[in-house]
Structure 1
Amino acid sequence: MSASEGTYVVGVDSSTQSTKALVVDVATGRVVASGQAKHTVTGGDRRESDPRQWWDALCAALEQCGDVVREAKAISVGGQQHGLVTLDAAGDPVRPAMLWNDVRSAPQTRRLIEELGGPDAWAERTGSVPSTSFTVTKWAWLMEHEPEAAARVAAVRLPHDYLTERLTGEGTTDRGDASGTGWWASATEEYDAKTLEHIGLDAAL
């Protein structure tokens, strides 16, 4: 398929179990190519994935789309929320990502809500009350159970932000993803300093 036939964009969905890619004709909305590759997720209460396999899956999905993917003018990445991706100074994962459905942080969730004023105070300050899926609870779990790993963390990312950074070389996020962390205040559109200080996380990360 040649560029003269249309302008193409790529949409990527990196979900819990697989990464999918669609090449779409902007003018018509027609899907001209697609690809999909699966992820491995651990079982039980411990729901983890190696972030590098998301990148491998993205590359595989794009390869399945064929040569037309090279004609795309833009790419947009979306995916699962809440997961905690921890990177070292070289940009490599410190440990497997804790996914949204990893429930080991249930005790930390209850404690954080209580220690920072209760549900009403959380809702007023950040616009949400954290559940076990929220990133803030997973960071609290990591600090408590794997302090050596936490000390090596030079950057914190969310799952699809990890892929965006691999594609562009820039660490970035969006309001939608940030709203599921527990440390983003929707009213001020800033990271909540009180929450970050309480969990020992530098906003620069």
Structure 2
Amino acid sequence: MAMDGINTILTDLGLTHLMDGFKDNSVGPQEVLTLTDSEFNFLGVSAIGDRARLSQRCRTYLNDCETFIGNFAGERVPSKLLNEDLFSLDGYFSEIKSNPVRLYLYAKTTTIINVSRGDVLSGTKRAFSRKTFRPELGLRVKFSGENGIDDGGPSCKGPVPRFFSRILYDLIAFGSCEPKLDDIVDYQIREQIKEVFRMLVY
């Protein structure tokens, strides 16, 4: 997971030629924040600007990763019980009147898309094509050469909004798609096509 994260960051920053060095030395986003100047040089990150951008992206990546203990429904286990006691398994089991109960470790991650304002489509397509891209997660847009990150769109509460149809997403990310009859939004056109299909079959 850590190496997937650093590979994504290096790709977004145009530093893919450094991936092997980071992999060979087991340097992930967490380790980047503690590197010395000589260690940056050893890994091939000699430009001050590249170091600054790399450190900032790693810091953002780590801040966007959140883990928590929750129940099967994904609800976070409270740090305090209803009686104001600190959380304990025995107290929690007693409170929910169930023992044993399965608890799960959840990880929430925000997907960051790095784009240029002059060519948003190419940056978006590159991000969607990454193996690590997960469309079900929250979305943040980082504009190249700008300090701000636009995270005012999709909300992390509830289902993530679907800004692209499945067909459009496949076209942007992979350059092809396999449309199905149910993808036709217009009810009348869909029914007409069904009728034509029935006539051809029978």
Larger strand percent = 1
Q: TM-score, normalised by structure 2?
A: 0.25
Max Rg structure? 2
TM-score in terms of structure 1 length: 0.25
More helix by share: 2
Which structure would you say has the larger RCO, counting Cα contacts within 8 Å and 6 or more residues apart? 1
